[in-house]
Copies of this chain bind each other. A is one copy, B any other.
């Protein structure tokens, strides 16, 4: 009888939530895969398949999150799955870092992208005028957010960063952010717990007109010409991880909110 009572309560809760479903969007549902033996299928884009295709670099040059996946992406970014996904990326990178035979000559290096890798812009992307990338990118609004210098760390990647420092690997930040934000970015990185780096490379006037791949390849090539060995490279965009001198191993941090080519 005890079990039955519990399920009566569940039944009441479920019937209540069903009754409210037209007022309150049952957004949690979209995070459930449409799959499994006996699984109930949901119509429309399979948002988990879409996200997988983004992460596996099957989808390129996409401009906006599919309309039917807006709620999914918001839930994903705010929920435990995104954090777990980041932790597994960091685990893989730490395992790799631990396996390395380091030269210890100050030229063992690791390249970090900043946005959605080192720092998170979730407080910005969660805004109603941004909607996790479902609304077209607004350069002015985003730059105003960057100028606040208030982006939090992505904890998993900060853990990787600290591990690399403890191993003696030199850390290099390489970002597409414009040079004029240098001071604010330094303050933001410090505030988020990143306080030690060999280089912080921002996009200068000379880099204008370069694609993200061209710009990052150029800067990494300069690093290699200076004698750095890029043992690892972590970023949320494939454009961080391909091109010249991409690094001995690359690590893709999930980002289903936007695409930079």
Contacts and interface: CB of A to CB of B under 8 A. Distances in A.
Given A34-B84, A36-B75, A39-B80, A11 B4 contact: yes
Given A50-B88, A88-B49, A76 B35 contact: yes
A247 to B, nearest CB: 12
Interface string A2-42: 01101110110011000000000001100111111111010
Contacts of A55: 52, 55-56
A181 to B, nearest CB: 28
Contact of A36 (B57, B59, B60, B79): B79
A49 B15 contact: no
A37 B79 contact: yes
Contacts of A27: 37
**For chain A, which range describes its interface: under 10, 10 to 19, 20 to 34, or 35 or more residues?**
35 or more
Interface stretch (A111-119, A195-203, A248-256): A248-256
Contact of A35 (B50, B52, B84): B84
B34 A80 contact: yes
B11 A49 contact: no
Nearest to A35: B81
A63 B52 CA distance: 22
B85 A49 contact: yes
* The 9 residue pairs across chains A and B that have the minimum distance between CB atoms: A7-B11, A35-B81, A35-B80, A35-B79, A49-B88, A46-B84, A56-B252, A55-B56, A31-B36
24 contacts: A4-B11, A6-B11, A28-B37, A31-B36, A33-B79, A33-B80, A33-B81, A34-B80, A34-B84, A35-B80, A35-B81, A35-B84, A39-B80, A46-B87, A46-B88, A48-B81, A52-B88, A53-B85, A53-B92, A56-B56, A56-B57, A58-B88, A58-B252, A59-B92
Interface of A: 3-4, 6-8, 10-11, 14-15, 27-28, 31-39, 41, 46, 48-50, 52-53, 55-60, 75-76, 78-82, 84-85, 87-89, 92-93, 249-252, 254
